[in-house]
Amino acid sequence: MEFTSFKTLVREEVERRAGKKYRVRLNDVMKNNGVVLSGLTVMQDDSNISPTIYLNDYYNAYENGRTTLGMVINDVMDVYNRNKVNRKLDMRYFLNYEHVKEQIVLKLINTEKNKELLSDIPHVEFLDLSIVFQVLISDENIGGASVLIHNAHAKLWGVDSKELYKCALKNTPKLLKYEIKGMNDVICEIMETDRASAPCCGEIPMYVLSNSRRIDGAACMIYPQLIEDFATAVGGNLYIIPSSVHELLLLPACAVDNGEELINIIKEVNETQLLTEEILSDSLYVYDCKEKAIKIF
């Protein structure tokens, strides 16, 4: 069965099960690095928000014989029922820049891999990356969410990329506070064990940098003074490894003999361990203490 037919069958059956008071729609969503996913939304007549349920993985499982169409539809309905929001979110405040400017934050994406997206959104170039902007939305019923700022928003508000960057650079460290942890501590968290029981990652001092949400945490690289202060604390130049869009690895440059080996590791991990939309860059970055600047190695 082709993906188009699969999506149509899922939508029709979900619509039948949901009932007349619900609207079921299919829509393509452009994610990071040019990845386009096919999403399904189920929305009640008295609501204007709904979780997007992506069908791509369901289709792959169906095609490989790991699931049936009925099981897919059952799971989609279950996911919706567990995450549905029975209310409307008032988005009128979004029309006024004064209402949203204190919630504007930044994130980092790869410039080359996101050319199409960048043509439609305000951004500021940074090395081989681009700084883009989003509005954080906090609601007790839906938790944390974000809305990517497009050129149409900036035009409506009468602001440009420079203004958004200035605003976001001020807000992001406050709204999404950074966290730096030793690699061994992170391994302990993942394995839910103590340091004595966890495997050691070695003698090389490596640290994980992200934000409190662990989402789009690579943006911490440009928090004012953060990298400079950390480099000073460890006593010299610092390698910055783009582990993903969500986190960075920090490594004192004096602890590694050959930076080229790190580049090979970055590329291998990106190719074999990460989803395409999670990749930040194949580059290795270095903070130069003398120049007080981050550069591509």
- Name the residue with tokens 């029309």: 95
Q: Read off the pLDDT of residues 196-255 as tens digits, 9 standing for 90 and up.
A: 554 445 567 899 999 999 999 999 999 999 999 999 999 999 999 999 999 999 999 988
CB 282 within 8 A of CB 241: no
Q: Is the pTM of this model over 0.95?
A: no
Q: Read off the pLDDT of residues 28-79 as tens digits, 9 standing for 90 and up.
A: 999 999 999 999 999 887 666 778 999 999 999 999 999 999 999 999 999 9
Least confident of 1-5, 20-24, 45-49, 155-159: 45-49
Q: Looking at residue 88, what is its pLDDT?
A: 64
Any idea what the Cα angle at residue 132 is, between residues 131 and 133, rounded to 5°? 130
Q: Give the confidence band of 90 by pLDDT, cuts at 50, 70, 90.
A: low
Q: Is the pLDDT of residue 94 over 50?
A: yes
Task: Collapse the DSSP code of 275 into the 3-class scheme (helix H, G, I; strand E, B; otherwise coil) and give the result.
Answer: coil
Q: Looking at residue 20, what is its pLDDT?
A: 86
Q: Looking at residue 82, what is its pLDDT?
A: 87
Q: Is the pLDDT of residue 141 over 60?
A: no
Q: Read off the pLDDT of residues 142-196 as tens digits, 9 standing for 90 and up.
A: 456 789 999 999 999 999 999 999 999 999 999 999 999 997 666 555 445 554 5
Higher per-residue pLDDT: 256 or 198: 256
H or E segment to which residue 259 belongs? helix 259-272
* Mean pLDDT computed over 251-272: 92
Nearest to 216 by CA among 182, 189, 243, 191: 243
CB 90 within 8 A of CB 71: no
DSSP symbols for 122-178: -EEEETTEEEEEEEEEEETTTEEEEEEPPHHHHHHHT--HHHHHHHHHHHHHHHS-E
End-to-end CA separation in angstroms for the chain:
47
Q: Looking at residue 200, what is its pLDDT?
A: 47
